Structures are given as structure tokens and as C-alpha cells.
Amino acid sequence: MKGELAAGPPRLEPPDSEVRQRIRQQRLRRFKMNIPLLLMFLPVILFYLIFRYAPIGGLVIAFKDYNFYDGLWNSPWVGFQHFQTLFSDPRTVEIIRNTLFLSLLSIIVGFPIPIILAIMLNEVRNMAFKRTVQTVVYMPHFFSWVIIAMMIMTVFSLENGIVNRWVEAWTGEPYPFMYNKGSWIAVFVGSGIWKDMGFNAIIFLAALTTIDPSQYEAAQMDGASKMRQIWHVTLPGIRSTIILLLILSMGRVMEVGFDQVYMLQNSNVNEVADVISTYIYRTGLQGAQFSLTTAMGLFESLVAFILIYCANYIARRFNEGLW
Amino acid sequence: MRKTRGEQVFYMINYVLLTLVAISCILPLLNIVALSLSDARAVVSGKVGLWPVDFTWFSYHSLLTGTPILNAFWNSVEITLIGTGLSMAVTIMAAYPLSRRHFYHRRFFTMAMVFTMIFNGGLIPTYLVVQNLGLVNSYGALWLPGLVSTYNMLIMRSYFENLPGEVDEAARIDGCGELGLLFRIVLPLSKPLLATIALFYGVGYWNSFMSVMIYINDTSKYNMTVLVQNMIMSNLNVQDFTDPTMISNLTPEGIRAAAVIVMVIPILAVYPFLQKYFVKGVMLGSIKG
């Protein structure tokens, strides 16, 4: 290709100095156009430096014994002592395990549900029905966890919750949903899925609209049943969206949303309900153990970073990488 | 086209399941509405289902007169309006330059921002930064640390980039500067997207809980989420009110339900108008940028 271009008709090259001047003019023009943009961008740079990169720098206190008097710079170094404390204390190991367990369970159980919901909505032919269902299922996403927790505690309440009145009618006595470890985990995972399934389905619904309808017609001609069409046409059609969102959810494996767990937990289920975010809040902020909990935070961030990096690496093998 | 028997069954099951899902999303809310409008005795005895029993406004009356809910409501409004305004302004200030092809180091800046999405300093170092800036116990601590959501910024940037190029050229020939281009062309063309992102920020600020708990010590500065959470936690058990006359006069549960409804109403009020926008916005976000 390049050889062909070079072999084209000879062009009149302007003299060298003229080229240089034009380049200089272009540079000056570009610089002038950049001035308002740079001025506009300055606060953004400040924001990222102060509130995003300074805290990353502040992670050094994980290797120090931070105290108010000495401050960030003068506090003594302690090396990996805080990490040793974290990984040798059965209580913190349990907290890390709880975090992993709850988030992995939420991802494994919760990931397919928005996809299924989107496919179900996509198959609805009655537009009014579809729109009504969409309006209703997107709604919980916009409610704060205070509201959702209040609903859950009301619905599952031991004394007068609706659910326990049904349970009572069936078994004769109410079931303490919020106070048994197993059922608490079920309520926790279920409520997380319930809150966001509709909203998370939107992105899959968008992907579904890009599938060529003729593929369904062809499948129908071949006598494929509805289920087979979904399996062989719909799912492959939204494959890249599924992989992309799976990568993103990998980054959240170390993270159990503070609001949800803080509002749903109670002393009866602490053994399974205490997670990294509530630990950092309680021990770090309320107990003022800044260095120890920063070490925990650093551990959390690092694992999340490695997970999302690896997930992306694998996805790139399938040409679906995020970057 | 005629449907086969298998398809008929499929559609039937589909409609039934979707109806059940929709009902599961609406029933708890109806239950709370009913509780908030029912008489104390009916609430305590667990008679209230989806319809108020012995209809009364009493819970709302005690909520408004006996608790600082109104103050918290206005705090929430203040946090949400100013926060959303600030966030939108700075997000635009980030997204617009990055969408311009001739902007210096745009790749470097974008990468540096994306990096903060996958690796961050975490709660304690951020708290120390906010504390050193003297922002503790002021709303600045709620607005500044989360001022720009990188995710929203990226969506906005790719939207600006994909605006038709001719408009840009025409504006340049008419002698519009970069700022003129932004205010006269880019922003007016991006209204649906701006509405979506403002909604996301707005809901985030309205529901903000953890940041208020961490940074705000003064109870008179609490927003509704934290106030209502305190109400829920501090009198979780009806049994705490051992005095029977107390129970008949005051049901914490009814008042809590009323507080939740007060918190939900503003969201429900704007929700129908914004639904079409956020659906569009999420779809825009799904375009890999």
C-alpha cells in the first residue's frame, strides 16, 4: 500500500521553512484552543489529585503506626505488622471470609437473574404490560437501603409481618427470618437481587434490541422451540454484554455494600454478617485504629484490582476485554 | 402468525412470572403505606395487610410534630440540589475537554481517571484527607469526596464525542470559541443524557447514608436517611414500650412507616418523568467507550 502511494504523481513540496512555519502556526492554534479547555479542566485535576490520588498515597499508613500527634509523615514505620495482625486474628479472618462468601453468593445467584428478566421482558408482546412491569421493577433501585431495610423488617417481622402470618398459618409458629444465620443470608442475598434486578436488566434489554430479527425467523423455520431460540440466538447475541458485566462484577468480589449490610445486620447474626466495610467503619472510625483498618482496606483494594485485572485478561482471550 | 402449543405455554408462564415479579416489587411498599395510615392498635396486632385498618393520619401528625423530620427533609433537599449542581458542573468540566480531539494528553488523563475506578485509597485515607481539609461536620464533606463519578464522566465523554461533527464545524466557522461551542451546541444537544446523569447523582445524594454517618456529627444536620435509620434502630422493638397506654398512643412502627413514605414520595414524584431518560442513559453507558 505504502509503495503504491509513493509511486503516485509527484507533488510540489513547499520549501522547508514554510513547512516549519505552518507547523508552528498549527501548534500555536492548538495551544490557543487548549487554553479554555485547560482552565476548565484544572478543578478536575485538583479533584482527582486531592480526593482520589492523595488517599492512595495515604495508604502508606497501613505500614506505619499512625497517630494524630505525629501525623502522616512522622508516625513510625512498622512494616507488615498490621497485615500480620489481620491474618492471625481469627476474628478478622472470619470477616474476610464473610465478605467473600456474601459477595460471591450474591454474584453467583444474582448475576443470571437480570439476564433472565431481560429475556422474559423481551418476549412480551403486549407493550402496555411490558412498560408497567418495567416501571415497577426498576423502582426499588432508586430507594435507599434505609427504605428497603424497613420494608424487609416489616415484611419479615416476627410479631406482625405479613410473611410470618402466612408461615404461622402453615406451620403454626412464626419463623425468625432475621435472627437465624441461614435465613438471614438468604434475606440478605435476596434483597440485594430484588433491589437491583430490574435496573441491571436494562443494559441486557438494550443489548437484546441489537439482535437481528431474521435470526429468530430462520430459527423458527428450522423448527426451533422458544427455549432453543433463546439458547442459540438470544444468549449468543448478548454474549459480549454478559462478559463485560461479569468482568465488572469481579471487581466487586471484595466489596459488600456498607449500607445494605449495616442496616440489615443484628447481633444474632454477626458471625456471618460482619464484613470488611462494617469492620473498617466500626474499628477504624469509631475505634480510631486507622493503621490497622487501612491495612484491611489496602488488602481489599489490592485483591479487587487483581481480580478485575485477571478477569479482563481472560476476557481478552475471547476478544471481549474491557481495555 | 399462529402460535404453536409450546409457544402458548411459554407466553403464559412468562406473563405469570413477570406479574409475580412486579407484584413482589410493589407489595412491600403498599404494606408500608397501609401501616402508615392505620390505627396504632391494628398495627401492633398485625392486622394490617395491604389496606389501612381504621384509617388515620395520626402517624403522619406525630411524625411531623414530634420528630425533626421536616428539618431533615430540608437538609436532604439542600444536600441533593447543591450536590447535584456541583457534580454536574465538574463532570461536564471533565468530560468536555476529554471529548475534544486536540486536547493535550487526553489519553493520559483518561487513563489516570479510569485507574481510580479500579484502585482506590479506601475509607480511612479518604477520611483523613477530608479531616485535614477541615470539612468534617460540614456538607462539603458530602459533596467533595464524591464530586465526580468517573463512570458517569466516561458516559458523558463518549456521548459528546459522538455528537455529529458537522455541527461542530459550523459553529467553528461562525466564530464560536470552545466555551461557546459547549454552551450553545454541545450541552443543548445532550439534554437527555444530562437529565439521566443528574438523576443518578440526585438519587445518590438523596439516599446518601454512609457519608453522612461518617462525616456529620451534628444531629441537626442529619439528612432523612440517617434520621429515619436512627428512628428504626433506636426503637426496633414494640416491647420497649411496656406502658400499654404508650402503645395505644404511639406506634413506633406506624411512625417509621410514615417516615419511609415521606422519604419515598419525592423519588416517586420525579420517577415517571425521568424513566425514559435513565433507560436511555443506561443504554448509552452500555456502548463501550
- Residues B22-56: tens digit of each pLDDT: 998 888 899 889 888 888 777 777 777 788 888 88
Please tell me which residue, B242 or B42, carries the higher pLDDT value. B42
Select the residue of B28, B93, B207 nearest A40 (Cβ to Cβ).
B93
pLDDT greater than 90 at residue B139: yes
Contact B96, A33 (CB under 8 A): no
Query: How high is the pLDDT of residue A294?
Result: 93
- Number of domains composing chain A: 2
Whether residue A84 is found in the same domain as residue A41? no
Whether residue A35 is found in the same domain as residue A139? no
Mean pLDDT value across residues B219-231: 89
In SS3 terms, A174-232 reads as CCCCCCCHHHHHHHHHHHHHHHHHHHHHHHHHHHHCCCCHHHHHHHHHCCCCHHHHHHH
pLDDT greater than 50 at residue A91: yes
Whether residue A59 is found in the same domain as residue A154? no
Partners of A277 on chain B (C-beta within 8 Å) are: 123
Query: How high is the pLDDT of residue A193?
Result: 93
Local confidence band at B285 (pLDDT 50, 70, 90 cut-offs): low
Whole-angstrom distance, CA of residue B283 vs CA of residue B103: 27
Local confidence band at B57 (pLDDT 50, 70, 90 cut-offs): confident
Q: Suggest the residue from B23, B123, B127 to mutate for an interface test with chain A (most A CBs closer than 10 A).
A: B123
Please tell me which residue, B174 or A98, carries the higher pLDDT value. A98
Query: How high is the pLDDT of residue A10?
Result: 58
Q: How far is A6 from chain B (nearest CA, A)?
A: 28
Whether residue A58 is found in the same domain as residue A107? no
Phi and psi at residue B74, to the nearest 5°:
-70, -35
Which positions ≥6 away from A106 have C-beta within 8 Å?
A: A189, A192, A193, A256
Q: How far is B220 from chain A (nearest CA, A)?
A: 19
Contact A122, A208 (CB under 8 A): yes
Whether residue A23 is found in the same domain as residue A94? no
Select the residue of B102, B116, B148 nearest A34 (Cβ to Cβ).
B102
- In A, minimum Cα distance to B226 occurs at A146
Select the residue of A202, A225, A277 nearest B279 (Cβ to Cβ).
A202
Q: How far is A304 from chain B (nearest CA, A)?
A: 8
Residue A295 three-state SS: helix
Whether residue A147 is found in the same domain as residue A34? no
In SS3 terms, chain B reads as CCCCHHHHHHHHHHHHHHHHHHHHHHHHHHHHHHHHCCCHHHHHCCCCCCCCCCCCCHHHHHHHHHCCHHHHHHHHHHHHHHHHHHHHHHHHHHHHHHHCCCCCCHHHHHHHHHHHHHCCCCHHHHHHHHHHCCCCCCCHHHHCCCCCCHHHHHHHHHHHHCCCHHHHHHHHHCCCCHHHHHHHHHHHHCHHHHHHHHHHHHHHHHCCCHHHHHHCCCHHHCCHHHHHHHHHHHCCCHHHCCCHHHHHHCCHHHHHHHHHHHHHHHHHHHHHHHHHHHHHHHHHHHCCC
Long-range contacts of B181-187 (CB under 8 A, 24+ apart): B182/B92, B182/B96, B186/B96, B186/B160, B187/B92
Mean pLDDT value across residues B86-106: 92
Whether residue A40 is found in the same domain as residue A176? no
Domains in chain B (CATH in brackets) are: 5-66+235-286 (no CATH), 69-215 (1.10.3720.10)
pLDDT greater than 50 at residue A1: no
- Say if the Cβ atoms of A40 and B263 lie within 8 Å: no
Partners of B93 on chain A (C-beta within 8 Å) are: 40-41, 43-44
Whether residue A88 is found in the same domain as residue A125? yes
Whether residue A43 is found in the same domain as residue A154? no
Q: Please name every residue paired with A64 in a beta bridge, in sequence order, or none if there are none.
A: A77
Please tell me which residue, A184 or A4, carries the higher pLDDT value. A184
Tell me, yes or no, whether A220 lies in a domain: yes
- Say if the Cβ atoms of A144 and B104 lie within 8 Å: no
Please tell me which residue, B236 or A267, carries the higher pLDDT value. A267
Comparing A134-148, B24-38, B145-159, B267-281, the range with the smallest average pLDDT is B267-281
Q: How far is B67 from chain A (nearest CA, A)?
A: 17
pLDDT greater than 70 at residue B188: yes
Instruction: Cell 461562525: give the residue.
Output: B174
User: Of B9, B36, B1, B4, nearest to B252 (Cα)?
Assistant: B36
pLDDT greater than 70 at residue A292: yes
- Say if the Cβ atoms of B129 and A280 lie within 8 Å: no
Local confidence band at A323 (pLDDT 50, 70, 90 cut-offs): low
Whether residue A41 is found in the same domain as residue A150? no
Whole-angstrom distance, CA of residue B56 vs CA of residue B42: 11
Tell me, yes or no, whether A69 lies in a domain: no
Mean pLDDT value across residues A103-116: 92
Local confidence band at A9 (pLDDT 50, 70, 90 cut-offs): low
Tell me, yes or no, whether A119 lies in a domain: yes
- Say if the Cβ atoms of B229 and A146 lie within 8 Å: yes
String of b and e for A256-284 (b: at least 16 CB within 10 Å)? bbbbbbbbbbeeebeebbbbbbbbbbebb
Question: In this structure, is the dihedral angle defined by the CA atoms of residues B94, A253, B21 and B49, taken in order, positive or negative?
Answer: negative
pLDDT greater than 90 at residue B95: yes
User: Of A254, A204, A197, A262, nearest to B118 (Cα)?
Assistant: A254
Q: How far is A17 from chain B (nearest CA, A)?
A: 24
The answer, as to whether pTM is greater than 0.95, is: no
CB-side neighbour CA atoms (13 Å) of B145: 29
- Say if the Cβ atoms of A48 and B112 lie within 8 Å: yes
Q: How far is B166 from chain A (nearest CA, A)?
A: 18
Whole-angstrom distance, CA of residue B119 vs CA of residue A252: 11
Tell me, yes or no, whether A70 lies in a domain: no
Which positions ≥6 away from A169 have C-beta within 8 Å?
A: none
pLDDT greater than 50 at residue B289: no
Partners of B44 on chain A (C-beta within 8 Å) are: 159-160
pLDDT greater than 50 at residue B241: no
ipTM beyond cut 0.95 = no
Query: How high is the pLDDT of residue A88?
Result: 93
Tell me, yes or no, whether A232 lies in a domain: yes
- For residue A108, what are the domain limits? 80-317
pLDDT greater than 90 at residue A191: yes
- Say if the Cβ atoms of B96 and A37 lie within 8 Å: yes
Partners of A308 on chain B (C-beta within 8 Å) are: 118
Select the residue of A142, A150, A305 nearest B232 (Cβ to Cβ).
A150
Query: How high is the pLDDT of residue B284?
Result: 65
pLDDT greater than 50 at residue B288: no
Q: How many residues does chain B have?
A: 289
pLDDT greater than 70 at residue A12: no
- In B, minimum Cα distance to A118 occurs at B18
B122: left (phi over 0), alpha (psi -120 to 50) or beta: left
Q: What percent of chain A has pLDDT over 90?
A: 35
- Greatest mean pLDDT range, A143-157, A203-217, A232-246, B77-91: B77-91
Encode pLDDT of A58-76 as tens digits: 999 999 888 877 777 788 8
- Say if the Cβ atoms of B125 and A120 lie within 8 Å: no
Whether residue A19 is found in the same domain as residue A48? yes
Whether residue A46 is found in the same domain as residue A174? no
- Say if the Cβ atoms of B124 and A38 lie within 8 Å: no
Q: What is the CATH number of the domain that holds A180?
A: 1.10.3720.10
User: Of B63, B65, B37, nearest to B51 (Cα)?
Assistant: B37
- Say if the Cβ atoms of B118 and A251 lie within 8 Å: yes
Mean pLDDT (chain B) is 83
Secondary element (H or E) of residue A116:
helix A112-122
Whole-angstrom distance, CA of residue A282 vs CA of residue B190: 43
Mean pLDDT value across residues B56-63: 84
Residues 193-222 of A with CB under 8 A from B: 194, 198-199, 202-203, 206-207
Residue A294 three-state SS: helix
Query: How high is the pLDDT of residue B112?
Result: 93
Tell me, yes or no, whether A5 lies in a domain: no
Instruction: Cell 438494550: give the residue.
Output: A206
Query: How high is the pLDDT of residue A243?
Result: 84
